[in-house]
Amino acid sequence: MSIGRPAPELPPLSQDEILRYSRHLIIPEVGVEGQRRLKAARVLMVGAGGLGSPIGLYLAAAGVGRLGIVEFDVVDETNLQRQVLHGTKDVGRKKVESARDRIRDLNPHVEVVAHEAWLTSENALDIIREYDLVVDGTDNFATRYLVNDACVLLGKPNVYGSIYRFEGQSTVFCTAEGPCYRCLYPEPPPPGLVPSCAEGGVLGILPGLVGLVQATETVKLIAGIGEPLVGRLLLVDALSMQFRTVKLRKNPRCPACGTRASSPPAPRTCTRSSSPRTPAAR
């Protein structure tokens, strides 16, 4: 599976780009065609915070042609412990502007599209429609479910990640063959049940670990290489430094992507007896 245009329609690389991406071009699995796929790709990042920082920096460095950023927040001093897209000089600035400046400096070949907005049910479809895939770096359940449902409706892969304290998760939702977020968690938890990073804290390095898994999956999906984390949930425990994956299945009764009626409430489809917790923060 590769995302985007057929090979004959891919944009050519300039001499500058050939030089810049030379370490990609000599990898057989990427090569010139893979790099042209990256250049043609349109990726929407939801959030420019802890997860969005490594995602944005590395996707830009890797040569993703268009990076959309949905973010309404302003850089706060407490962000700097993990949100490495932003610097001390950016405190008080809008995150979309800070992110755009940093990414332009890192790679001027990347077009950054700033969506300075909350993602809502009114604008989500219109924004997401313009992109090939979505990388979810949100810190709240409302946005996470909205991203999921919009991606199901539009048929866009949703590269998911979440973090809390020392633990993180990542997978790829909303592909034709794989499950979506609601297959795993059909409904949001009651408000206040799952603490956020602001409430429970997060190791500043953790979004780097998980965000780079998301960036890696994004590049693989665009280039059509390797085995994406479709139907597999990666669980990261930084304290024990253990990475494990659990299988996920599409739920035919899923309220978003299911093919059968969704009532009574859909069961969770994680194949393990204990479903993984769902960290809420970014």
Distance, in Å, from the CA atom of 135 to the CA atom of 223, rounded to the nearest integer, reads: 16
**What is the three-class DSSP state of 265?**
coil
Binding mask 259-278 for Zn ion (x = CB under 5 A): --------------------
Q: Smallest distance from the beta carbon of 216 to Zn ion, in angstroms?
A: 23
State the residue number with the nearest CB to Zn ion: 254
**Per CB under 5 A, 103 contacts Zn ion:** no
**Per CB under 5 A, 183 contacts Zn ion:** yes
* Residue (119 or 180) nearer to Zn ion, CB: 180
* Residue (110 or 254) nearer to Zn ion, CB: 254
State which of residues 99, 197, 209, 254 lies at the interface with Zn ion (CB under 5 A).
Answer: 254
Distance, in Å, from the CA atom of 160 to the CA atom of 144, rounded to the nearest integer, reads: 9
32: number of Cβ within 10 Å: 14
- Stretch of 34-42, 55-63, 175-183, 268-276 contacting Zn ion, by CB under 5 A: 175-183
**Per CB under 5 A, 182 contacts Zn ion:** yes
* Residue (184 or 213) nearer to Zn ion, CB: 184
Residue count, binding to Zn ion (CB under 5 A): 6
How distant, in Å, are the alpha carbons of 38, 67, 108, 120, 191 from that of 17? 12, 17, 10, 36, 47
Distance, in Å, from the CA atom of 70 to the CA atom of 47, rounded to the nearest integer, reads: 6
**Is 10 within 8 Å of 40 (Cβ atoms)?**
yes
Q: Is 154 exposed, middle or buried (0-12, 13-18, 19+ CB in 10 A)?
A: middle
Distance, in Å, from the CA atom of 114 to the CA atom of 72, rounded to the nearest integer, reads: 10
**Per CB under 5 A, 230 contacts Zn ion:** no
State which of residues 180, 209, 221, 234 lies at the interface with Zn ion (CB under 5 A).
Answer: 180
Pairing of strands 111-115, 133-136: unpaired
State which of residues 257, 270, 280, 281 lies at the interface with Zn ion (CB under 5 A).
Answer: 257
**Per CB under 5 A, 144 contacts Zn ion:** no
**Per CB under 5 A, 42 contacts Zn ion:** no
Q: Smallest distance from the beta carbon of 254 to Zn ion, in angstroms?
A: 3
Residues within the interface to Zn ion (CB under 5 A): 180, 182-183, 254, 256-257
